[in-house]
Structure 1
Amino acid sequence: MAELYYNAKVYVEKGHYEQAVLVEDGIIRRIGSSDALLSEAPADAVRVDCGGRTMIPGLNDSHMHFAQFSETLNQARIADVKSIGELIEVCRKFAQEHPQRVKNGLHAIGWNQDYFTDGGRLPDRHDLDKISTDYPIVLERVCGHIVSVNSKLLEILQSTGEIDKCKGEDCLTDENGVPNGIFTGNGCNIAKRLIPEFTLEERHEFMRDAMDYAVSHGLTSVQSNDVGTTFLDTPAAFRLLHEMYDNGEGKVRYRHQVCFNNLKDFEEYLTHGEYAVGEYKKGSWLTLGPLKLFKDGSLGARTGLMSQGYVDDPENHGLEWISVEDMDRYCQLAKKHNLQVITHCIGDEAVRRTVGCYERAFVDGKNKLRHAVVHCQITDRALLERIAKDDILVFAQPIFLDYDMNIVEKLCGKELASTSYAFGTLLRMGVHLSYGTDCPVEDCNPFTNIYMAVTRKDRQGRPAGGFYPGECVDVETAIDAYTKESAYAEFQEDVKGRLMPGYYADMVLLDRDIFTVDPMEIKDILPVMTIVGGKVVYKK
């Protein structure tokens, strides 16, 4: 079956636009003028008049947490609360309206104390006890690297001895040395494990909701770190995704980014598990991707690993989640099995140590496995040059600037801030830099992300000239980072990320021309149609 999309402004590559795309069996066969393709298309081809609208390649989020995002669509919405009092009220209301959902525990993510109007302190057990003391509660900061819990959860941790597994800095205490219900680092994971997992049936439903949201915002591919994080039951996670895609329920292409609890588990999966026996056919919408590691925490939580510490707390260098020695072991094992490694790095020291581990695991002295730094926020000039020289990939989130531009100079100093979030510089250096949102840390709407990359302004258009405007990129560059560079990140650059013959027919028709609108309007753009593999998965 063939489809012809004509009377469009089709973005092909920088400076090159066409009018029509001919699709057969989910693959782009021809591009060209409307007149030429209307005359050449098979007689039985479905002809779609695009009404002069702009068409771009399907957008590909290079790093997110899709399953966790699906949870947030079905949890208490705490991302926009402006005070601890509002946080309490939102959770109380959710519990009243969904008693079955919280009977074994309440978990939600999204609060940010920097937006609180009542002092900006971290919520503690005393605050969460006002929601309930009958069941355990875990509320995660937006970054996921600080959690607040209630007394009930602390009681369970203490009675089971689990609290003894927390290092001193992972479990904060009050002036009397009593745990105050605030956890960081690995303590977050220990606390979250006490909230019962959703059933697979619930997760199945949640994932469908998330896919609907994604395609309605122009995403056609997601590279998602769910297994080993949101999904703690690794076999069940792989099984659920296989079932959904085998049954034709997938609406977006999905690539796994996988975490493991320890090196032994990783080796087992490489030799006898999913990486050895998992079935992923060529052209499948479901693919198995890299090992995902966490090197440090977050900037807002002051747990990002910093070489010089934080300006207002120079003795605090952040947290190192995985030692250099252990990371070397992971990278060498990945090298043995020809597997890509991607690592969460926020602070400059996290980036520096991660780059060193990668260099020691290069194949023939080169980054042939396309190891990547995820986030890559705080950097100096020498580090940027080292990343470029080594051809290390960067999975960037320009949308983080909406919040971080308000804190980075205060925490890191102006000199280091001036070379951080240097996503324009890295692209100009020739680095393979792709865009993602780290959703649900940020919404997975790609157009807000593109707006931030182009303007370096927050959603309200501040600052007027942009935050370090030398890092701005043009719209074509931003779209390329979200399409062809995201495809390169998953070794798919020959079949994905371009509207060219031989590529997957993953396309988005927009409600306005992203190339000519006022840049302030980019964040408000929405698709009128989203197509994956030639299949219309969303139509407004």
Structure 2
Amino acid sequence: MQTHFAKLIPLFFLLFSAMPVVSALEDADARTQEKEKSYSRHKVFHNLNGYTFAGGIGDYAELNQFSVIVVHKGKIVAVGDEELVTKYEGARQYDLRGQTVIPGIVDAHGHIQSLGENLVQIDLRGMNSRTAAVAKVANYAHDHQDLPWLIGRGWNQELWPDRRFPSKKDLDEVVSDRPVWLVRIDAHAGWANSKALELAEITKDTLDPPGGQIIRDSEGNPTGVLIDTAMNMVQNVMPPISDEQLRHAVNLAFEHLLELGITQVHDAGVDTRGLDLFKELSEDKRLPLRVNAMISARDPALMDLLAEGPFRDAYDRLQINSVKLYGDGALGSRGAALIEPYSDDEDNTGLLVTPEEDLMPLFGAIHQAGFQINYHAIGDRSNKLALDTFAEIFALEAEQEEAWQTDPRHRVEHAQVVRVGDIPRFLELGIIPSMQPTHATSDMNMAEDRVGSERIAGAYAWRSFLDQGSLIAAGSDFPVELANPFYGIHAAVTRQDRDNQPVEGWYPEQRMTIEEAIRSFTIDAAYAGHLESRTGSLEAGKWADFLVLSADPFQAKPENLWRIRVEQTWVAGERHFQRSH
């Protein structure tokens, strides 16, 4: 009996000694399961060719490459190499098959409602003759018999053989029973038929409004073309857009922008009605991209809106902390305010849309309220006025020894034709030039005619700004230009149109590098909207706004940059666009 029991002792010993081993294995298993469970709501995007700027803005930003992004609750947890895939086991994985990824595009100057409306109106962009433009209006009128007004946009007389403004007679020949109103491509001139002029009560005796001009024939009769504030006379008698039409226009614009890879827009000039719609969409979590809405200084409720103070929602989808001020008109319609007369119109120095005496009170009110000033300036006079007024505001602030704002980041929108001597003042005063690269390649056929060979040295002068250390916030000014950001990147890098003309580029010494161009459409544009700590680059802690591209822009030939397409658009880790093949 004792012998039998003695034989069992080693067996019991083995059984009991094995129990802790089994328990340890179970614990490890449980920990693994718990770890996988904890990462189950993470998203790991891997096998990608990623680029992002990191560590700062402007010249302080470094271009980094990566192959994996980890996202949780819409924000980036980590960016790195394939080791992250193992680290985040249990996460939902997205194999991007080696495709190129860059941060979402920030368009620093666009017009969302106008874009949406433009998508359903008569599109006259690219019409190479007056005859072609009129024919398109006639066809549209035939197909839309139910519309009380025929509205369109995009004509540009500089593309026509005679390069002359059109007239009401051209339109009267095809549509005389209904009003026709066609806005020039730059939105600083309009073309009306006789019916529209009649409804607006514009006659030979009508005076030019301040900041505007009624183009007249040799006998003083209105020709049908109205410049800048004169456009309001027709637009004020047009039927207002309904709430339903406004929503439809905005949603059309959102879809279009997301397809192009634009995840954030600085909307340049939004009235109370537009702000209310954006706020409603924000509250309902139905803003599919980020909107930095600039309050229109033309809104009668401006002072009340300033009194409400800056606004930003909890998800960084909507921000209202800036005001769009209107300085002058545009170069193409000769409404840009110049110090000296136009080289091709010696009696004309352009128009100031906002009277000079109103600038200081407006700048002061906006700055003191804690809002960013975004001042539209095309001509050298308007740019100089902006800089002079900024300097005056800052001097007054210093004199009173009271900091009204610590980090205003005021901007000049367009900064298109600037006296060479005024360019350094942007850096000295801390003013951001918000510029649109495609304006240069669209305007190159007429810009030097307008300002001459001497003033052109300070026009579309990206390199001059960058070399002195200024940060450029890039945009498209859609729908003035097409919203596609790769058209803008191509124009910035080549100074050529999409036919790659001129061969050497137009004033090629002002070109950007590919790194500078993409930086100006991402982290630098985000900075210009006070959102660089949350967007603009793919870094831990920021929103996961990124694009999957058809090609690598950093490796592409410059002439092919405009051909790059967006395959996927992601905002806060959610896919909002997928190209179908």
TM-score after normalising by structure 2 = 0.86
Equivalent residue, structure 1, for 2:136: 90
CA deviation after TM superposition for structure 1 residue 212, in Å: 1.2
Alignment match of 2:155 (pick from 88, 93, 111): 111
C-alpha separation between the residues in 2 aligned to 1:159 and 1:290?
35
CA offsets 1:287-308 (integer angstroms, 9 cap, x no match): 1131111111111111111112
The yes-or-no answer on 1:148 pairing with 2:194 is no
C-alpha separation between the residues in 2 aligned to 1:255 and 1:242?
11
Cα pair distance change 1:279/1:315, threshold 3 Å? closer
Structure 1 residue matching 2:270: 3-state secondary structure = coil
Equivalent residue, structure 2, for 1:535: 574
Asked if 2 retains the 8 angstrom alpha-carbon contact of 1:448 and 1:522, the reply is yes
Equivalent residue, structure 1, for 2:347: 315
Equivalent residue, structure 1, for 2:305: 269
Equivalent residue, structure 2, for 1:190: 233
Cα pair distance change 1:427/1:159, threshold 3 Å? closer
Cα pair distance change 1:433/1:162, threshold 3 Å? farther
CA offsets 1:232-271 (integer angstroms, 9 cap, x no match): xx2x322222233333332211111121337x63212222
C-alpha separation between the residues in 1 aligned to 2:208 and 2:468?
44
Q: Within 5 Å, which residues of 2 pair with 1:109-508? A: 109-117=153-161, 119-158=162-201, 163=206, 166=209, 170-228=213-271, 234=272, 236-261=273-298, 265-271=301-307, 275-276=308-309, 280-362=312-394, 363-364=397-398, 368-508=407-547
Asked if 2 retains the 8 angstrom alpha-carbon contact of 1:296 and 1:305, the reply is yes
Which runs of 5 or more residues in structure 2 are unaligned?
A: 1-40, 54-61
Asked if 2 retains the 8 angstrom alpha-carbon contact of 1:257 and 1:288, the reply is yes
Q: CA RMSD in A?
A: 2.1
Asked if 2 retains the 8 angstrom alpha-carbon contact of 1:162 and 1:190, the reply is no
Alignment-mate amino acid for residue 186 of structure 1: T
Cα pair distance change 1:413/1:139, threshold 3 Å? same
C-alpha separation between the residues in 2 aligned to 1:442 and 1:539?
24
Asked if 2 retains the 8 angstrom alpha-carbon contact of 1:58 and 1:508, the reply is yes
C-alpha separation between the residues in 2 aligned to 1:372 and 1:162?
39
Cα pair distance change 1:281/1:162, threshold 3 Å? farther
The alignment of Structure 1 onto Structure 2 pairs a total of residues equal to 524
Cα pair distance change 1:508/1:467, threshold 3 Å? same
Alignment-mate amino acid for residue 158 of structure 1: E
Equivalent residue, structure 2, for 1:12: 52
Alignment-mate amino acid for residue 75 of structure 2: I
Cα pair distance change 1:254/1:167, threshold 3 Å? closer
C-alpha separation between the residues in 2 aligned to 1:310 and 1:53?
49
Equivalent residue, structure 1, for 2:42: 2
Alignment-mate amino acid for residue 267 of structure 1: M
C-alpha separation between the residues in 2 aligned to 1:115 and 1:488?
36
CA deviation after TM superposition for structure 1 residue 87, in Å: 1.4
Alignment-mate amino acid for residue 84 of structure 2: L
Equivalent residue, structure 1, for 2:88: 41
CA offsets 1:73-109 (integer angstroms, 9 cap, x no match): 0001111212222212211211222233x22x12211
The yes-or-no answer on 1:76 pairing with 2:131 is no
Alignment-mate amino acid for residue 155 of structure 2: W
Asked if 1 retains the 8 angstrom alpha-carbon contact of 2:68 and 2:80, the reply is yes
Asked if 2 retains the 8 angstrom alpha-carbon contact of 1:26 and 1:535, the reply is yes
Structure 1 residue matching 2:413: 3-state secondary structure = strand
Structure 2 residue matching 1:256: 3-state secondary structure = strand
Asked if 2 retains the 8 angstrom alpha-carbon contact of 1:254 and 1:287, the reply is yes
Alignment-mate amino acid for residue 3 of structure 1: K
Equivalent residue, structure 1, for 2:71: 23
C-alpha separation between the residues in 2 aligned to 1:497 and 1:159?
48
Asked if 2 retains the 8 angstrom alpha-carbon contact of 1:215 and 1:252, the reply is yes
Structure 2 residue matching 1:134: 3-state secondary structure = coil
Asked if 2 retains the 8 angstrom alpha-carbon contact of 1:324 and 1:357, the reply is no
Structure 1 residue matching 2:97: 3-state secondary structure = coil
CA offsets 1:173-231 (integer angstroms, 9 cap, x no match): 22222222111121012222222122111221222221111111110001112423xxx
C-alpha separation between the residues in 2 aligned to 1:167 and 1:324?
12
C-alpha separation between the residues in 1 aligned to 2:471 and 2:314?
24
Cα pair distance change 1:177/1:165, threshold 3 Å? closer
C-alpha separation between the residues in 2 aligned to 1:334 and 1:168?
22
Alignment match of 1:512 (pick from 551, 574, 577): 551
C-alpha separation between the residues in 2 aligned to 1:265 and 1:107?
27
Cα pair distance change 1:50/1:168, threshold 3 Å? closer
CA deviation after TM superposition for structure 1 residue 159, in Å: 8.1
Asked if 1 retains the 8 angstrom alpha-carbon contact of 2:535 and 2:542, the reply is yes
CA deviation after TM superposition for structure 1 residue 48, in Å: 0.8
CA deviation after TM superposition for structure 1 residue 379, in Å: 1.6
C-alpha separation between the residues in 2 aligned to 1:123 and 1:26?
51
CA deviation after TM superposition for structure 1 residue 164, in Å: 5.1
Cα pair distance change 1:131/1:513, threshold 3 Å? same
Q: Which has the larger radius of gyration?
A: 2
